Amino acid sequence: MTFDVVTIFPDFFRSILEHGLLKRAVASGRAAIRLHDLRDYTDDRHRTVDDRPFGGGPGMVFKPEPIFRAVEALRSEEQDEDVRVILLSPQGHLLTQAAAEELSHAARMVLICGRYEGVDERVVEHLATDEISIGDFVLSGGELPAAILMEATIRLLPGVLGNEESRQQDSFAAPEVGSQDGRPGLLDCPHYTRPAEFRNWKVPEALLSGDHEQIRQWRRRRALEKTWRRRPELLTRVSLSADDRQWLESLEGKA
């Protein structure tokens, strides 16, 4: 999977590329991340990327020419390849786990990071194949959203996470063939580690029991409970057993 990131702040990404998952994925050759300075695609002495909005109003807007030039140059490098051109924007489709799963099958993505008031709408209409938002809030630039999109998709590539099972048990996980103990579509269950007692707070007995069925049931129920309390809308999309339904009804009885 190759990412080409178009930004006016390529240095913004240096530290995240020197740590953790992105560093490992790049070092192992599973992902390539190439940074491109939008100003390298300008044609004036001042390397201008923005201009005032037509119709007046505050702020500046990214001009279309440098962005089109950058993306077209990157696309022409490998003409056969199917390239997703993704504009990071608060007006885009939400980046969910399901959206990250879908993107993780793409071979190549160009990520356009906006700034200021955003980008000229002709980029949206005639260049981007996708417009993606990381949430219903507004940041000052597309660099953090681009980093988040890369991490969310790269961690789904086979072999990137040391432990594939942990991904199958994460919150929002898609149903996985072969997952013995997955809780697809739910929020993750609570986790505990040593010590078994900390400031009088004890780890739940079930987790110390060594009984696999008891542990499985405890985790499933806690995941259902968390999801029911915090994100009940997710429950409409998961398949529930008779035992799950009974447990949820018992919670409703207590509420």
Interface with ligand SAM (CB under 6 A)? 88-91, 113-115, 117-119, 133-135, 137-142, 145
Which residue, 41 or 218, is less far from ligand SAM as judged by CB? 41
Which residue, 149 or 189, is less far from ligand SAM as judged by CB? 149
Buried b or exposed e, range 62-81, using 16+ CB within 10 angstroms: bbbebbbebbeebbeeeeee
CB 114 within 8 A of CB 7: no
Structure tokens at 110: 């160009």
What is the set of active-site residues?
90, 117, 155, 170
Residue nearest to ligand SAM (CB): 114
CB 21 within 8 A of CB 160: yes
Using only the alpha carbons of the chain, give its radius of gyration: 23
Which residue, 150 or 248, is less far from ligand SAM as judged by CB? 150
DSSP result, 136-185:
SS--SBSHHHHHHHHHHHHTTSTTTSS-HHHHHTSTTPPP-TT-SS--TT
| Residue 24 DSSP class | H
Which residue, 86 or 207, is less far from ligand SAM as judged by CB? 86
